[in-house]
Amino acid sequence: MAKTAKQFSGKPATVHDQKLLRGNGGELHQIAGGDIPVLTTAQGILVSDDQNSLRIGERGPTVLEDFHFREKIFHFDHERIPERVVHARGYGAHGYFETYDSLAKYTRADIFQRAGEKTPAFVRFSTVAGSKGSFDLARDVRGFAVKLYTKEGNWDIVGNNIPVFFIQDAIKFPDMVHAVKEEPDRAFPQAQSAHDNFWDFISLTPESMHMIMWVMSDRAIPRSFRFMEGFGVHTFRFLNAKDESTFVKFHWKPKLGLQSVVWNEAVKINGADPDFHRRDLWQAIQSGNFPEWELRVQLFDQDFADNFAFDVLDPTKIIPEEMLEPIPVGRLVLDRMPDNFFAETEQVAFMTQNVPPGVDFSNDPLLQGRNFSYLDTQLKRLGSPNFTHIPINAPKCPFHHFQQDGHMAMRNPVGRTNYQPNSFGEGPRESPQRGFRSFADAEEGQKVRLRAESFADHYSQARQFFNSQTPPEQRHIVMALTFELSKVETPVIRERMVAHLLNIDEGLAVTVADKLGIQKMPKPADTAVAPRDDLEPSPALSIIENGPDSFAGRKVGVLVGPGTEVALLKKLQVAIEKEGATMEVVAPKVGGVEASDGSWIEARHMIDGGPSVLFDAIAVLLSKPGADRLAEESAARDFVADAFAHLKFIAFAQSSSALFVKAGVAVDADEGLIPLDEPEGVDAFMQSCRKLRLWGREPAVKL
């Protein structure tokens, strides 16, 4: 960890000099030639620092007396009625967590004491920026919140599908969310970050640059909840029976491997099925294909933390898996959908402060702020301090306390005494031996609004992430940045972002600037710490490098028509099911078609409502007359053309060639088009599908 003898304010150090944001005296400050008033609290108290919460020492815990932070986060938590301020659009499922082996050496948490023990779980996946009615395939972070109903209380691992975050200090969370949400004067764009406010904030917040690389990558447009990772984001502690501390970071690894979609595909999916992710999870569980993740933990001690190149308390940083390999400790299986969406998925309340004995917090300032915030949020959203009486939030272990009354109270203390200590021998008592104990860390220092110097490197890991991507993934980051910044109407914001990109990768910055038509390259943004260029690429950060080794869990769309060769269709279906995938039939009419032998082929989709964007691969099994007829329909042509443009593997019967001609796709264009009616055609198609995409096609289609 970098030395912390010097102090770093953590305030913006960008093309706009910090002095423009904060004057050296006086009540008004000059920004862009205009006078603005001094920021105050809602009580009119002048604010000296709106960038850092108050803490003990530069790396210490946040203090409760920080009234400005408390008021700011309190008001933010209560801005929406009744939907969540963030993570409003979510979908959840029940399941269980199964422990592999005892971790008693590291933690006394009951869930990790016995190998093979199963703990009930509820998981909620979500987008962050959009409202409840927004679409699933927004370019966005995905929430990955896990509630484990342990025998010693509920444990909420409230994480995301990205291991870092935009900000280092929770006091900036309201600003970050306000910036990414729809602009308040016009109430759009919805569930999109491609607008001035978001990029204005980001361009003035260098600490966001690592997160921006992740959000502009394919991680932000996952194919399914089932194919994405989850992370606890923060550094926590494990405490064993001797109260010895081990730092821990949590990783959820999907059994089916990683997979995302491409942006053009995401846009079309949102039009064809805005509930794409919801439907996918529902169908998987209802069909018995239960999604599964493996929980892995990075464990390290204080010596590792002190010698790590970055601060383990900084939520904008990761510990590369190649440096510290995550250890498998259990598996999470989702096997049951809620009986009622509102009662369970909508009313479930996650809180970072819900940890069992044996798990504790670090001084990560974002985590400390989240621990303040979540209780406020649940009180406002669910209408009562008794939200734990709602079944989805109630512990499944015995619980005893003296809390009583209040709106919607379903349980109250029984008997004479509702307090302790009491002399009647009634009611529960604390247990110093079994109860939750915080790690007795020694804290010292002044009460200050500063960040440690060890938080000041905002570009090195952003560069490492970009360098860890494969060429197709790097192209996608370029395309995402170009698209998002093209929607920004203020030229100086676009230029400011390019200045930041120069500190990450010059080629990236130059390409984005060229695509945006920026005539003169700006100077690199000012840096508090010079970015490093010696960090090795981390293959674990690439989706393509961590894809599956099978086609299991995926879906093939098969286009049929009158006269389709039924024997070939059945052979393909057997191969798909053997692979662990599913097949859905698309036809001119949803009722189906008559096959070549006079039998009837039932269809799941009609061609207009079953575009190829809904599938991971496609097959076209048309008779020659059927192909001639469908070649005149734009939806059928798009079925083929989009699949080709989205780099999917395409199987076909030779008799279908007329449709391909009309769609502008040559059946011998590349190895991704496989004729099924050749002797080994079906096997060749399934082997190809295991690669998911033919990335080598991308430069040709120029998507």
Catalytically annotated residues = 87, 160
Cβ neighbours of residue 675 closer than 8 Å, sequence gap 6 or more = 651, 652, 653, 654, 667, 681
The pairing of beta strand 142-150 with beta strand 617-621: unpaired
- CA torsion 393→397→400→401, rounded to 10°? -30
Amino acid letter, residue 575? A
Q: Which of 112, 38, 43 lies closest to 74 in space, CA to CA?
A: 43
Cα 238 to Cα 357: distance, rounded to the nearest angstrom: 9
Cα 629 to Cα 622: distance, rounded to the nearest angstrom: 10
Q: Which of 92, 472, 95 lies closest to 260 in space, CA to CA?
A: 472
Q: Which of 342, 337, 291, 339 lies closest to 132 in space, CA to CA?
A: 342
The label of the residue with tokens 């939520």 reads: 315
Cα atoms found within 13 Å of the Cα of residue 404, Cβ hemisphere only: 9
Let me know: does 245 contact 627? Beta carbons within 8 Å. Answer: no
For residue 67, give Cα distances in angstroms to 73, 321, 536, 554. 10, 39, 43, 51
Cβ neighbours of residue 687 closer than 8 Å, sequence gap 6 or more = none
Question: Helical H runs in 383-440?
Answer: none
Let me know: does 11 contact 167? Beta carbons within 8 Å. Answer: no
Q: Which of 68, 74, 50 lies closest to 373 in space, CA to CA?
A: 74
Q: Which of 634, 640, 598 lies closest to 621 in space, CA to CA?
A: 640
Cα 482 to Cα 514: distance, rounded to the nearest angstrom: 9
Cα 336 to Cα 391: distance, rounded to the nearest angstrom: 16
Cβ neighbours of residue 76 closer than 8 Å, sequence gap 6 or more = 85, 173, 174, 177, 373
Amino acid letter, residue 289? N
Cα 51 to Cα 12: distance, rounded to the nearest angstrom: 9
Let me know: does 320 contact 326? Beta carbons within 8 Å. Answer: no
